A and B are shown apart, each in its own frame.
With several copies, the nearest count.
Chain A
Amino acid sequence: MARRPDLKVVVSNPAPAPVHDAAPEQAEMPFAVVNGEPVSQLPRDLYIPPQALEVFLEAFEGPLDLLLYLIRRQNLDILDIPLAEITRQYMRYIELMQELQLELAGEYLVMAATLAEIKSRMLLPRPKSDVASEEDPRAELVRRLQEYERFKRAAADIDALPRLERDVWSTSAPLTQRRVVRALPQVTLQEMLVAFQEVVARSQMFAHHHVQRERLSVGERMSDILAALRSPGFVAFVELFRPEEGRMGVTVTFVAILELMREGLIDIVQAEAYAPLHVRAAQPAPALRLVEEEPS
């Protein structure tokens, strides 16, 4: 059942009979019997004391809400509005409000016009053959009423949810001796790879720059080293370096060795801690690898 505006009736003093006590109008209520609602009672709520009308109007959220009220209080189905009767009631509210010179939202008047238009379309005689194909003139209004009503209900549902500061309260217990904690920066793998890509690119340029001057490149040096290791047996690690090439040359050699190691082309062995390193071309079963295996 639809939620209705909160209205309370406070009987203040006995007063004259309602001016708008409308006579029974069964003729306009074709489904009244179906709904088991005594038709004669329908218009009774139309009388509202003038001083209360403004408040009454405020209780509605607009013309759709007022229409829903008119429909629901008679236990009628939205899908089957007795349009003539509902329109008549709606118009009376509007007229009354205008008589009382209440400021009326424009939407109420637009709805009045809409209702009048639908009513007139329903009164127009239609050829029997067209009845099936033509949409009920009320359809659009019915759709709007339903759509509004479902959100009216949704609003009530949301209001009924247990919410903070009304039904539940969040809790808190202070920490009196708070310390300063620095958040650790977050890094994505992609960020790191992009950084690496750049350092690689830069070092290639670096190498390239020196290649022109010193004719050195890592790839070349890798080949040189592999060539030097072609004969079986070990070569002392230090013998692979040529100090006369300078710091850059030594570095290129070193990078070449690392690259070869990474690619599994050479083994570097060391008899014991701090003993001289020896290098040889990769063997099927390498002896001591200097590289401590990552426990992964």
Chain B
Amino acid sequence: MNETYLRNVVEAALLAAGAPVPLADLARLFGEGAQQPGVDELRAALAALAGGYEGRGIELKETASGWRVQVRPELAPEISRLWPERTTRYSRALLETLALIAYRQPITRAEIEAVRGVAVNPNIIRTVIERNWVRVVGHRDVPGHPELLATTRDFLDYFGLKSLDQLPPLAELRAMSDVNLQLALAGEGGATAAALADEDATTAGEAAPAAAEADAEDAGEEDELSAEGGASAELVAAPRHPEY
């Protein structure tokens, strides 16, 4: 039997099965009786496959119930991200803190507390720092030398901003109602506005039961992804497939 064909069938079968396949079942894929490859041939094909998986993210493994292809444990950290646990939302306090840091940076925790009028939970600061949205840029020269917090490049990337200047000025923001805010964000020209509008559309799409939703989303995703590198890929990471 042709070795390449044999190896291809064995590989396809192991991957299609997704579970250990006994040698006998592999032999039976080729029909009955004389058409079946011998055990030696099958073992040779398996060895060739295993060799082909060297230096790759998968490996061939023999278990009690047969042979299977599995992901190498070394890649567990990356591959595990395929199945993230149900995500929680950030608290209002975190969003306010983040916004204050964005608008008033560099700023200390005490200053944030002063504006918000309540204490800031240290977990909030830790969370935004771990998320790499905020970093410590220095220390205020006052007793205790508190940390000065500022936003990062990742923060700008995540929110699709080129620079902090693209945030609406405080005076405008103050005057805007929630609805006006949405309109202003959608109506602005330039790349930011587009990114924001996309973001908006994504959020809106989650609730809409429209028939064409799936298609519209497809198109949107493609656009967003091709718009700009990994940063906008993150934008798409929002819950996209509410129904499937």
Contact = CB atoms under 8 A, between A and B. Distances in A.
Contacts of B239: 186
Contacts of B115: 144, 147-148, 151, 199, 203, 251, 255
Tier of interface size on chain B? 35 or more
Contact of B237 (A11, A49, A58): A58
A173 B18 CA distance: 5
Given A155-B92, A163-B160, A55 B207 contact: no
Contacts of A155: 92, 95-96, 98-99
Interface in B185-235: 185-187, 192-193, 196-197, 199-200, 202-204, 206-211, 213-215, 217-218, 221-222, 224-228, 230-235
Contacts of B148: 292
Given A157-B207, A181-B85, A183-B86, A175 B70 contact: yes
B15 A171 contact: yes
A4 interface: yes
A6 B240 contact: yes
Given A173-B12, A192-B159, A79 B98 contact: no
A172 B232 CA distance: 29
A173 B96 contact: no
B111 to A, nearest CB: 6
Contact of B141 (A64, A149, A258, A274): A274
- Interface class of chain A by DSSP: mixed
A9 B227 contact: yes
A179 B236 contact: no
A44 B226 contact: yes
A88 interface: no
A195 B209 contact: no
A97 to B, nearest CB: 14
A170 B230 contact: no
Contact of B18 (A16, A17, A171): A171
A52 B73 contact: no
A22 interface: no
B70 A34 contact: no
A190 B68 contact: no
B173 A64 contact: no
B117 A160 contact: no
The 9 residue pairs across chains A and B that have the minimum distance between CB atoms? A15-B232, A62-B118, A196-B99, A172-B18, A183-B84, A171-B15, A195-B95, A183-B87, A52-B235
15 contacts: A1-B218, A5-B237, A7-B221, A14-B230, A34-B183, A56-B237, A151-B115, A158-B168, A167-B76, A171-B12, A171-B15, A185-B90, A187-B159, A196-B99, A200-B170
Interface of A: 1-18, 31, 34-36, 41, 44-45, 47-49, 51-52, 55-56, 58-59, 61-65, 72-73, 75, 77, 79-80, 105, 107, 111, 136, 138-139, 142-144, 146-204, 206, 247, 251, 254-255, 258-259, 262, 270, 273-277, 290-292, 294-296
